[in-house]
Amino acid sequence: MPELLKAEDLGVSFGGLRALSGVTFGLGAGEIAGLIGPNGAGKTTLFSTLVGLVKPATGRVRLSGQDMTGAAPNRIVRAGMTKTFQNTALFDSMPLIDNIVVPGVVHGSLAEARERAADCLARVGLAHRRRAAVGDLTFPEKALAEIARALATRPKVLLLDEVMAALTPQEMEAVIAQIRDLRAREGISFVIVEHHMRAIMGLCERILVLNFGELIADGTPAEVSRDPLVLSAYLGEDHALH
């Protein structure tokens, strides 16, 4: 089976800083992969590069076999991959529901977009907040709204950047259940950045580890948590691997 997403030798630098170098990995349809690494490892940068917000200095990005390197983000999104923003980037002056309508209007009528938006909001459990102003949402609600907006683009690959950071354990469970359900029913693949180790080790069947911009491990949670390279990368970090 051809891989849905393929990153080959991605390299990015900001001025003198090498934020990513030689990152290569693939993702199959319906796969749920976790992306972990210490602060500043380059996880967000990798996501931004995959969706075209950051242009890589080296390497290629392929989606469904198509070369997407250097393509405008909106093209990549329409080809089926999008990401959420770690610090959330909602459209502040629009009510919540209108935020989720935006991806829909790219393809179809306003009525269809509204229907889809309501559906996506309900999925993340925010249906009761649909008329709320973005400014009135709590941070966890904003993170959930990010997921809803990303879902409204009808993605095949969804890159989630620390959406569970501020959630309560119950909310986290609900999001995890939702991710599993989306994979089962719509075959969506996920790459998930999360610092909460237990959540990510339980949810993902595969873990990628990024350190100083390099992919230092790629394997099952069990393999990765035994990997000496990974252990030394996390040495002195406050996140325990169990």
Partner 1 sequence: MKRDLTFILCALAVLAAAGLALDPGGYAMRILCLVFLTAAMAQSWNIMGGLAAQISLGHAAFFGIGAYASTILQVEAGLSPWIGMWIGMVLAVAAAMLLALPTVRLRGHYLALATLAFAEACRVIANSIGITGGPQGISVPYMGNSPAMMQFSQSGGYLPVIGALFALVFGLFALISRSRLGYMLRAIRENEDAAELSGVSAVRVKIAGFAISAALSALCGTVFAQFMYFFDPDSIFSPLSISVRMALVAIIGGLATLSGPLWGAVVLVVLEETARSRFSALPPGVTPLLVGSLLIATVLWRPAGIVSLLPAPGGVRPGWLKWRKRNA
Ligand X SMILES: Nc1ncnc2c1ncn2[C@@H]1O[C@H](COP(=O)(O)OP(=O)(O)OP(=O)(O)O)[C@@H](O)[C@H]1O
How many CA within 13 A on the CB side of residue 135? 3
Residue 93 binds ligand X, judged by CB under 6 A: no
Task: Tell me the closest approach of the beta carbon of residue 161 to partner 1, in angstroms.
Answer: 11
What angle separates helix 96-107 from helix 139-151, to the nearest 10 degrees? 10
**Which of 139, 197, 149 lies closest to 171, judged by CA?**
139
Indicate which of Mg ion, ligand X, partner 1, none lies near residue 40 (CB less than 5 to 8 Å, by partner kind): ligand X
Task: Tell me the closest approach of the beta carbon of residue 12 to Mg ion, in angstroms.
Answer: 13
Closer residue to partner 1 (CB): 110 or 231? 110
Residue 89 binds ligand X, judged by CB under 6 A: no
Sole residue written with tokens 């990974």? 230
Instruction: List C-alpha distances in Å: 11 to 25, 56, 63.
Output: 13, 6, 18
Indicate which of partner 1, Mg ion, ligand X, none lies near residue 6 (CB less than 5 to 8 Å, by partner kind): none
Indicate which of Mg ion, partner 1, ligand X, none lies near residue 106 (CB less than 5 to 8 Å, by partner kind): partner 1
Closer residue to Mg ion (CB): 94 or 165? 165
Q: State which of residues 21, 44, 153, 211 lies at the interface with Mg ion (CB under 5 A).
A: 44
What angle separates helix 96-107 from helix 110-123, to the nearest 10 degrees? 130
**Cα 155 to Cα 168: distance, rounded to the nearest angstrom:** 26
Q: State which of residues 37, 59, 80, 155 lies at the interface with ligand X (CB under 6 A).
A: 37
Residue 49 binds ligand X, judged by CB under 6 A: no
Closer residue to ligand X (CB): 53 or 132? 53
Number of residues that bind ligand X (CB under 6 A): 12
Sole residue written with tokens 């809803």? 148
**Cα 191 to Cα 208: distance, rounded to the nearest angstrom:** 9
Residue 41 binds ligand X, judged by CB under 6 A: yes
- Per DSSP, the three-state class of 22 is strand
